[in-house]
Amino acid sequence: MEHHSPTFIGANGFPVAARYLLLEVVASNNSELDFTGLDGTFPRYVIEGNNVAPNSNSVQLNAQFSIEGAFMSGVADYGWVVKVSSSSGFDDQDEDSSDAHISTSRSSGNDRWSSGAFQTGDITFTITKGGLGNHPRLWSVSAHYSSGGDFVHSNGMGAYKGTTSSPSGIPAEGIDGVRLSFSAGLIQQGTFRFYGVE
């Protein structure tokens, strides 16, 4: 386990939280990438994806949670919202309160990911637990060139609701993985680093 320096001080004068590199994965035409090993060791986990690209055009980058070893994929298991801004001055929001995944881009429109030669991007996911039922939440920030050729910045948030394929309750240590995939095609490339954060 690689430990990244805990002694940095942020702009606010407080120490920056220590983080530990748990896994590094280089994507090469993968249908999905699984990051397992989430447990009670850290209060939050972070996945950073750099130079990411799909092999299909106009697709969403989506996430699902694993609960007690099973990835939840029920048609109403998740809710999400994403806010998009682009270099052409386009600003919009999309959401879905009942979906089979958490999306990091809109359901339609030119802000989605594409496979052009220059259309790679970076994305960061922060995973936490919250609520009375320990429901996992995922925050995403991405910057990439879109299917329309614009430079796009997106902020998103989603949560596992556990309405259709939930086990009987979600134990405190039951959130044990995250799966990333595009809505169509493969994850053509990208380096993904998975951290535990104190």
Give, for all 198 residues of the chain, the pLDDT tens digit: 455 554 555 566 666 778 899 999 999 999 999 999 888 788 889 999 999 999 999 899 999 998 878 898 888 889 999 999 988 888 899 999 999 999 998 888 778 888 877 788 999 999 987 655 567 889 999 999 887 778 899 999 998 887 554 545 555 456 789 999 999 999 999 999 999 998
Q: What is the pLDDT of residue 153?
A: 93
Distance of alpha carbon 187 from alpha carbon 179, whole angstroms: 12
99 within some domain: yes
- Domain count within the chain: 1
Domain presence at residue 36: yes
Answer yes or no: is 11 within a domain: no
Domain for residue 137, yes or no?
yes
The H or E element containing residue 97 is strand 91-99
pLDDT reported for residue 109: 76
Domain membership flag for residue 182: yes
pLDDT at 85: 92
pTM comes to: 0.86
| In-domain check, residue 21 | yes
> Is residue 3 a part of any domain in this protein?
no
Q: Which domain holds residue 155?
A: 16-197
- Label the pairing between strands 33-36 and 78-86: unpaired
Of 141, 114, 119, 97, the residue nearest 60 (C-alpha):
114
For residue 105, what are the CA distances in angstroms to 15, 57, 59, 175? 32, 13, 8, 24
- Report if residue 134 sits inside a domain: yes
